[in-house]
């Protein structure tokens, strides 16, 4: 029974971390409750397995809107073979299009883009019906190719109608990419579509600025990037999915914005950079996400060196800052390794733990 009690203790001690990760809360709460029922003798381990399975399926439907993944229809080797085949098709199509692009004309360009978009979109829908994690990934990649086809068609059509207006083309392509991927993404666990929607939003805003003759200064652009990244991060903590991808995007975006701001405004950029990296490390530790911890620590190291390079002229202090930043990175890597090990231990299915406890402990 001590093994089961240890698992419960670990899960209880991590409640304060999971309070901020709503995408994990339902399953964790049910596993803990079911484990308590097994310990009290209310249900058997086999009944516990059935309860957890049913609840996991319900959570998958309610949280992601997708059907539960019950079986693997593709092996890793077959999945990579599909990706290799897609790469060959893309390279072959690009070579053929390069030699025949001009003879095709604007109408042919639009038709080629729409054909690629329609075929890839339909193939993605068909593949995703297999309802396996690997086929879901493959479907998302196919939808990425569909986005490229729509972008080609939109850009070619805008170039023909807009008389080679670069700003209008950028705005149109960005808007098409944004709308298409928002529809495909729909706040579900689809990282490629989420990232494509972010790229589409960036292109749309850039094109709008060119068409509207908006004269933004480098500082204003950097602040816009930083504020947008922070907004994405805050939404990822509560409602935005995929949450981990959103947090990484927010982390990288805030670092880029702070670095860009630090060139025209050294103090403001460095201050935002230090604040962003410190917050990123804190969020990574709270959520027990190794990648966030590492990226935040590396960013802190960069700004640590930049602070002392800009404002301190002593070589000894610069060396001390370098050592301090390097220590932060090493500690973050060590902590990330500990987090990965902890996640692997605490993510053990409750029924498996119950069976192990039955074999090893006297109840």
What does the pLDDT read at residue 16?
Answer: 42
Q: How far apart are CA 219 and CA 235, in angstroms?
A: 24
Q: How far apart are CA 346 and CA 49, in angstroms?
A: 17
Question: Domain coordinates of the chain in residue numbers?
Answer: 73-170
pLDDT in tens, the chain (363 residues): 444 444 444 554 444 444 444 444 445 566 677 777 777 777 777 677 777 666 655 544 444 344 444 455 667 787 888 888 888 888 887 887 777 777 888 888 888 889 999 999 999 888 888 767 888 888 899 999 999 999 999 998 888 886 667 788 899 999 999 999 999 999 988 999 999 999 999 999 999 988 888 888 888 999 999 999 999 999 988 888 888 899 999 999 999 999 888 888 888 888 888 888 888 888 887 777 778 888 888 887 778 777 776 666 666 666 766 677 677 667 777 776 766 665 555 444 443 333 333 333 333
Q: How far apart are CA 234 and CA 11, in angstroms?
A: 25
Signed CA dihedral, 146, 150, 156, 159: sign only: negative
What does the pLDDT read at residue 181?
Answer: 95
Tokens of 119: 């075929």
Residues 248/195, Cβ–Cβ less than 8 Å: no
Instruction: Give the Å distances, CA to CA, from 39 to 13, 44, 54, 240, 350.
Output: 18, 9, 20, 36, 11
What does the pLDDT read at residue 344?
Answer: 56
Question: What global pTM score does this model have?
Answer: 0.70
Tokens of 90: 């893309």
What does the pLDDT read at residue 183?
Answer: 94
Instruction: Give the Å distances, CA to CA, from 276 to 46, 272, 336.
Output: 47, 6, 19
| CA-closest candidate to residue 202, choices 159, 240, 248, 257 | 257
Q: Say how many residues make up the chain.
A: 363
Q: How far apart are CA 282 and CA 287, in angstroms?
A: 9
Residue written as token pair 């890839």: 120
362 burial type by CB count under 10 A (0-12 exposed, 13-18 middle, 19+ buried):
exposed
Give one DSSP letter per residue of 39-79, joined into a string. Answer: HHTSS-HHHHHHHHHHHHHHHHHHHHSS-------S-HHHH
């Amino acid at each position: 029974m001590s093994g089961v009690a240890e698992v419960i203790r670990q899960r209880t001690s991590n409640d304060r971390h999971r309070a901020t990760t709503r995408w994990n809360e339902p399953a964790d709460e049910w596993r803990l409750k079911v484990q308590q029922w097994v310990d009290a003798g209310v249900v058997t381990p086999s009944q516990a397995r059935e309860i957890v399975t049913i609840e996991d399926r319900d959570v998958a439907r309610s949280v992601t809107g997708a059907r539960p993944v019950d079986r693997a229809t593709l092996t890793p080797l077959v999945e990579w073979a599909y990706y290799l085949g897609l790469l060959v098709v893309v390279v072959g199509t690009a070579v053929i299009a390069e030699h025949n692009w001009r003879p095709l004309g604007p109408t042919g360009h639009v038709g080629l883009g729409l054909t690629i978009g329609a075929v890839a979109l339909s193939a993605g829908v068909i593949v995703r019906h297999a309802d396996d994690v690997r086929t879901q990934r493959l479907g998302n990649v196919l939808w990425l190719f569909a986005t490229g086809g729509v972008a080609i068609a939109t850009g070619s059509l805008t170039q023909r109608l807009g008389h080679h207006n670069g700003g209008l083309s950028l705005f149109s392509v960005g808007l098409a990419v944004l709308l298409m991927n928002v529809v495909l993404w729909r706040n579900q666990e689809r990282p490629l579509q989420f990232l494509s929607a972010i790229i589409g939003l960036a292109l749309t805003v850039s094109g709008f600025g060119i068409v509207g003759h908006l004269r933004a200064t480098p500082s204003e652009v950097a602040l816009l990037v930083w504020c947008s990244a922070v907004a994405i991060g805050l939404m990822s903590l509560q409602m935005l999915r995929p949450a981990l991808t959103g947090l990484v995007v927010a982390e990288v975006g805030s670092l880029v914005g702070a670095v860009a701001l630090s060139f025209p405004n050294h103090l403001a950029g460095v201050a935002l950079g230090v604040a962003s990296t410190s917050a990123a490390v804190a969020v990574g530790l709270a959520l027990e996400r190794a990648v966030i911890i590492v990226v935040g620590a590396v960013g802190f190291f960069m700004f640590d060196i930049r602070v002392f390079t800009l404002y301190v002229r002593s070589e000894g202090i610069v060396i001390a800052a370098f050592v301090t930043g390097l220590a932060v990175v090493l500690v973050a890597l060590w902590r990330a390794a500990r987090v990965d090990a902890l996640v692997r231990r605490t993510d053990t299915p409750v029924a498996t733990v119950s069976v192990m406890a039955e074999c090893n402990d006297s109840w």
